[in-house]
Structure 1
Amino acid sequence: MAQKKTQMENQPAMKVGIIGIGQVGLVLMTNIHKANNTQFILSAVCDTRPEIGQLVPQGVTFTREAAEVVKSCDVIMTCLPRAQDVKTVWERSIKDNLSKGQYWIDHTSSIHSQNEQLDREVTCLGAQFIEAPITGGLSALKRGEMCCLVAGKRTAVDRMRSLLDINYQQLHYLGQQVGSCTVVKLWSNLLNASQIVAMTEMLLVAKRQGLDLNKVFHAIRASSGNSFAWETGVPEVFKGRYDTSFTIQNHNKDIANGVQLADDLGVDIPMMKLTQQKFKDAQSAFGDLAGCYSYAKLAEDLHEEKLQVAGYEKWSWGIEVIGEEQTSAIRHENCVLPE
């Protein structure tokens, strides 16, 4: 193992390019540039918005043409809003410029069937495709605590491991079957959404019953009803923020793709379709850019109740990985403890 590591260290640093400098791409750009990794060096970034060029670190090439990134870099990372955006970039910029020995890491929450097709076509070109959607929230990504789901050839994933480790606390390898990560990511967001709906209903019941909402929050944290959504969603509602780091438009996009997959497979999911409608209602009420937990705000308005709790204005959270089994635990900061 040590010999393999030495061989990799002796190889020239691979040039990394990022296509799409949105919320995710911006963090990746910053982290990779600061990492001073001996195996990977940030070389070029692409975004269609010219103002993004002002954010690019000195020495890194900025271009509005994705093809330039593909031509000049060994590793291409795409961080795009939708599956259609990935398809467009593939057809217009990547397909005719990708060559043997290159790696393409796609972080987009996409569609599994599209990724399966891309993997086949990229393989035919002699390059490597790695499916790598991320989950855990933008604030976790900024701290390097996010989880990345990866699928693709094991040798390719191992070669890119130290690059991925720069940004992610946990990597979950789901195997060579590209498309599997997208299924897990979509349904992770569906589960999260359903728990936000249930969380909101429970808080409204507790409020009208006259209970102390902060004490309720901590009691559920210690109970069988606890979840990631409860631990992080309830304080967002207490703050009145509803998690603006991820828009309800993007959340609904993932929900729709997950529901469509279930329909294609003939699986009846009445609870998830009800959740989907609740989130659609929230998007209609507050707009595409509202926070992904805005259903709670909608329910507050419908019931003429406020679920905010004093003392959570500066609350934040992190993720701590515990033990060999890699259990994720939420670490609270500026949390109001019950008396």
Structure 2
Amino acid sequence: MTLSIGFIGAGNMGRPFIRALLETGFRVTVHDYDPGCERWVRGQGAQWAATPAAAAQDIDVLITCLPLPEQVRETMIGHNGALAAPVDDDVDREVVWIDTSTTDYHNTLDIARMAAPLGVMSLEAPVSNLSHMGVDFNNVCFYVGGEKKAYDKVRGVLDAMGQYSFHVGAIGQGQSVKLLTNLLFYCATLAWGELLLVAQNQGLDLRWLWNVAKTSRANCFVVDQVTPMLLDGSYDHSCTLEITVKDMALTVALADELGVDLPLGRLTEARYRQAGGLYPARANHLKVVAMMETENQRRLLIEGFTAPSPYGADRNYRHPHTFDVDARGRRKPSLPERFGYPLSHPACGRYAQCLLEVMAWTNHSILQEALQLGRAMGLEPSLLDQVVSRSCGASWVDDHRDRYVPHGAVLRDLPRLMESLHLPILRALDLDAVVACQPVRQAS
């Protein structure tokens, strides 16, 4: 039997999901708060619903894909909300609600309690991109919390929209896992932005550094795939600052609830909150790095450079539909040859080694905080390993966590390289302890 799906939220994340479901053969009815989406929805071959209740009528699966917790709540239980959809008593149908939003799990639990008497089983399934905007080509992972029975019923729906899904436990566990992976991504964004400012201040070629970093111990999702949206000055159109501020606030609230210190995480939250007070809510999420540029009276922009992404400065860019796959089976869009860069350069030396080693140490440090958060959630170690590696928080350090050792001798150079720059994340790193306990030696 082909499942009938109601889908609410036709934004940057929702539209690729809707297309994937239609291409797989599901019947899809869509609602979005913006009536201007109707033309796009009908053009894809889906049905349009004027209200959430209409989208939820006579369906097997309801999917919400919305930016903020209050929007999820209003959509489900507000005026003409999805739970107000009329039920056909003559049809024996058990509906599953899947919320793919990153939201407050207390909100999800509250809605789930109201949904249960109506015959609706609830799942949270927040999404992590496995490559930059992997949602555009089904390259995402879902972290699913809720009844295993409901998960088993909709596994085919999740498989149609993404590469992986993990049933991580009860409602609350899915959101918690997503916040854990976002913590890795957001902290890496701040640290790498600061390190790029240091590199530029020292006269290093940033495009060269990006290419070197991708093949080094410093590599992570942010270094590999987010850097171009900093170098072309677009600050990445794929996500709003409002969402990142919300995500980090939820992460700190979770740490408070579980009694986890999270020092770097709390500083990361404070910096995003600071950026949220300076820029409009709908500003691009990497505007947090624009804040750093302003604080240090610098600009990372490389004239003439455009990111290999339709979410960068060239909105007409299209991915080549070919993929590179790493040793762990993770894939990302291949880069055209013009994005290559010679790896031999006069600037290749100790300063660059120091900055890359600092990025590796930052990835290690925030990974320890994320793992502590995961353990406090009660996640099994093997599951915790999988959800980190299949997320936007993946890094070289995580992949080699059993044999990563910091090169303390190289880290010694950082205080001098930072000079008088305003770099809160880098200055918060506990480098003295690492340097003090290791002999002086060259990095490999």
TM-score (ref. length: structure 1): 0.85
Separation of aligned partners in 1, 2:121 and 2:24: 24
Q: Counterpart of 1:328?
A: 330
**Aligned AA (1:62):** W
Separation of aligned partners in 2, 1:192 and 1:108: 17
Q: Counterpart of 1:141?
A: 135
Q: Once the 2 structures are TM-superposed, how far is the Cα of residue 270 of structure 1 from its aligned partner?
A: 2.6
**Aligned AA (2:216):** S
Which runs of 5 or more structure 1 residues have no equivalent in the other structure?
A: 1-10
Separation of aligned partners in 2, 1:320 and 1:129: 36
| Match among 298, 302, 308 for residue 295 of structure 2 | 302
Cα distance per residue 1:178-199 (max 9 Å; x no partner): 1111011123222211111110
Is 1:47–2:40 an aligned residue pair?
A: no
Q: Counterpart of 1:203?
A: 196
Contact residue 98 and residue 127 of structure 1 kept, 8 A: no
| Match among 7, 14, 24 for residue 18 of structure 1 | 7
| Match among 14, 19, 44 for residue 30 of structure 1 | 19
Cα distance per residue 1:98-142 (max 9 Å; x no partner): 765111111111112222343444344333212111121773111
Separation of aligned partners in 2, 1:102 and 1:321: 37
Q: Once the 2 structures are TM-superposed, how far is the Cα of residue 228 of structure 1 from its aligned partner?
A: 0.6
Q: Counterpart of 1:69?
A: 55
Q: How does 1:162-181 map to 2 (within 5 A)?
A: 162-175=156-169, 177-181=170-174
Counterpart secondary structure, 2:302: coil
Separation of aligned partners in 2, 1:248 and 1:61: 31
Q: Once the 2 structures are TM-superposed, how far is the Cα of residue 78 of structure 1 from its aligned partner?
A: 0.9
| Match among 225, 233, 237 for residue 244 of structure 1 | 237
Contact residue 249 and residue 289 of structure 1 kept, 8 A: yes
Q: Counterpart of 1:6?
A: none
Q: Once the 2 structures are TM-superposed, how far is the Cα of residue 274 of structure 1 from its aligned partner?
A: 1.6
**Aligned AA (1:95):** L
Separation of aligned partners in 2, 1:321 and 1:145: 12
Is 1:337–2:341 an aligned residue pair?
A: yes
Q: Once the 2 structures are TM-superposed, how far is the Cα of residue 156 of structure 1 from its aligned partner?
A: 2.3
Q: Counterpart of 2:412?
A: none
The aligned length equals 321
Q: How does 1:189-338 map to 2 (within 5 A)?
A: 189-309=182-302, 312-316=305-309, 322=326, 327-334=329-336, 335-338=339-342
Q: Once the 2 structures are TM-superposed, how far is the Cα of residue 17 of structure 1 from its aligned partner?
A: 1.0
Contact residue 134 and residue 149 of structure 1 kept, 8 A: yes
Separation of aligned partners in 1, 2:65 and 2:257: 27
Question: Could you tell which deviates more after superposition, 24-33 or 189-198?
Answer: 24-33
Cα distance per residue 1:253-307 (max 9 Å; x no partner): 1111111111222222232222122222323333212211112222122222222
Question: Could you tell which deviates more after superposition, 134-143 or 180-189?
Answer: 134-143
**Aligned AA (1:164):** L
Alignment CA distance shift 1:244-1:86 (3 Å): same
Q: Counterpart of 2:437?
A: none
**Aligned AA (2:71):** D
Alignment CA distance shift 1:154-1:264 (3 Å): closer
Larger radius of gyration: 2
Q: Once the 2 structures are TM-superposed, how far is the Cα of residue 332 of structure 1 from its aligned partner?
A: 4.6
Q: Once the 2 structures are TM-superposed, how far is the Cα of residue 246 of structure 1 from its aligned partner?
A: 0.2
Separation of aligned partners in 2, 1:81 and 1:274: 23
Q: Counterpart of 1:8?
A: none
Counterpart secondary structure, 2:14: helix
Contact residue 190 and residue 258 of structure 1 kept, 8 A: yes
Separation of aligned partners in 2, 1:155 and 1:320: 35
Contact residue 18 and residue 69 of structure 1 kept, 8 A: yes
Counterpart secondary structure, 1:211: coil
**Aligned AA (2:33):** T
Counterpart secondary structure, 1:241: coil
Q: Once the 2 structures are TM-superposed, how far is the Cα of residue 338 of structure 1 from its aligned partner?
A: 2.4
**Aligned AA (1:336):** G
Alignment CA distance shift 1:205-1:333 (3 Å): same
Is 1:91–2:77 an aligned residue pair?
A: yes
Counterpart secondary structure, 1:191: helix
Cα distance per residue 1:24-51 (max 9 Å; x no partner): 2222222222x142xx321x21123222
Counterpart secondary structure, 1:174: strand
Alignment CA distance shift 1:66-1:206 (3 Å): same
Contact residue 323 and residue 331 of structure 2 kept, 8 A: yes
Q: Counterpart of 2:153?
A: 159
Alignment CA distance shift 1:61-1:331 (3 Å): closer
